[in-house]
Amino acid sequence: MTTDAVRRMVWSLAGPFLVALVGGAVADAAGVPLPWMLGAGLVTGLLAASGWPVAAPRVMGRVGQMVVGAGIGLQISPAVAGRIVDWLGLMVGAAVFGLLVACLVSLVFARLAQVKAATAFFALLPGGVAEMANVGTRHGADPVAVAVVQAMRVALVVLVLPATLVGLTPDPLLPGFAVDEALAPDGLAIAFAAALAGAFLAQMGRLPNAWLLGPLLAVGMAAGLGLIEARMPGVLVGLAQALLGFVLGARFQREKLRQVPRVAVVALPVLGALGLVMALAALAVAPLVTLSDTTLVLGFGIGGMAEMILTAKALGEDPALVTAFQAVRAALVNGAAVALWLAVRHWPAFRDGPVRPTPMNDRS
């Protein structure tokens, strides 16, 4: 590796990540919920938006997801698995509702942001950031606009939902991980070996969020067989939070935001309204079921899977159940997005009207 390459790596990766860790430490000292993720993510986002060349390799996000997935897998038991099966119908219903609401709201977003219907559609679907940008591009959407709005969706939910729920929870477990009995070194080695194997198998099987769900399932099986006991060490969970926050913040590159300024401005209230609709739907269902309001709000939530799981754990809710809600949504949205678009694109409401090419408009 040349001297220039080392300098660039330090400038764009090591330096920003150290600053992100400082942000996480400050948030932790201030008692912010999910401090290492929110603090690191906010600082990184500000750096990236200011023009600093922040580089977040994909492996950082994968490691963070793997640790979170393995940590939840350690809590899987036959009783937990039974609860997931019991509520599978509600999980599918919540996912379908979220998909349809996003589809309808995209009509409003397209007109306010002056973008193509395809861009608005794939930007608002609560699927994977990369998945929606890649699929949307093949159907005429602007990949930059889709990626920016998808990143804003996750960031907005991460910034607002944990703080709101912590404020409404009488006795949250924040920071949430100190009560766990840490794994012994041999158990940790088994857990990560199982997690890596699960991640690769899930990726081969094209599961959504493979680096989270694969480790969760593999470690859950190992824990169910009695090969591993205890919980993930708190320091590793904190590091996973910081990695996920860093990767999320790095998406807000100034160059991308400059390309779609109107989209970014309009997306903020639209995404807020979408999240509010999902939260109200969860609260409307709450009196009809035996799940807690918080679990339902997190399960119906349109944030990232790892972020919703970490929030559930910090609040003392059932992270495995929230994982199942989010996994069903991710699978349904990623699997049905193209079919739904092909079904609605010829409807009059989804046909593009004339869009004047101003600098504030979508580039597509």
- Identify the pLDDT of residue 355: 46
Our count of domains for the chain comes to 1
- Identify the pLDDT of residue 85: 87
Which pLDDT band holds residue 361 (cuts at 50, 70, 90)?
very low
Which pLDDT band holds residue 164 (cuts at 50, 70, 90)?
confident
What are the pLDDT digits (tens) for 204-217? 988 877 898 899 88
Which pLDDT band holds residue 176 (cuts at 50, 70, 90)?
very low
Task: Collapse the DSSP code of 231 into the 3-class scheme (helix H, G, I; strand E, B; otherwise coil) and give the result.
Answer: strand
Residue 208 belongs to some domain of the structure? yes
Distance of CA 306 to the CA centre of its chain: 6
Domain that holds residue 110: 54-350
Distance of CA 9 to the CA centre of its chain: 26
**Of the candidates 98, 97, 143, 96, which has an alpha carbon nearest to the alpha carbon of residue 119?**
143
Residue 249 belongs to some domain of the structure? yes
What are the pLDDT digits (tens) for 112-143? 999 999 999 999 999 877 778 888 988 999 98
Residue 186 has pLDDT above 90, yes or no: no
Over range 155-172, report the average pLDDT. Answer: 76
Residue 314: CA count within 13 A, CB half-sphere: 27
Express as a percent the part of the chain with pLDDT over 70. 89
Residues linked to residue 231 through DSSP beta bridges, in sequence order: 182
pTM above 0.85, yes or no: no
**Cβ-Cβ contacts under 8 Å for 52 (sequence gap 6 or more):** 12, 16
- Identify the pLDDT of residue 6: 60
One-letter amino acid of 108: V
Which pLDDT band holds residue 183 (cuts at 50, 70, 90)?
low
Residue 260 belongs to some domain of the structure? yes
**Of the candidates 85, 88, 95, 75, which has an alpha carbon nearest to the alpha carbon of residue 320?**
75
Residue 329 belongs to some domain of the structure? yes
Cis geometry, peptide bond prior to residue 172 (ω within 30 degrees of 0):
no
Residue 130 belongs to some domain of the structure? yes
Residue 24 belongs to some domain of the structure? no
Residue 282 has pLDDT above 60, yes or no: yes
Residue 31 belongs to some domain of the structure? no
- 3-state SS of 301-356? CCCCHHHHHHHHHHCCCCHHHHHHHHHHHHHHHHHHHHHHHHHHCCCHHHCCCCCC
Give the residue with greater pLDDT, 75 vs 35.
35
**Cβ-Cβ contacts under 8 Å for 94 (sequence gap 6 or more):** 281, 282, 285, 299, 300, 325, 328, 329
Which pLDDT band holds residue 331 (cuts at 50, 70, 90)?
confident
Over range 327-333, report the average pLDDT. Answer: 88
What are the pLDDT digits (tens) for 216-272? 889 988 887 777 776 788 888 889 989 999 998 998 988 888 888 899 999 999 999
- Identify the pLDDT of residue 295: 93
Residue 199 belongs to some domain of the structure? yes
Across the chain, what does the average pLDDT equal? 85
One-letter amino acid of 147: A
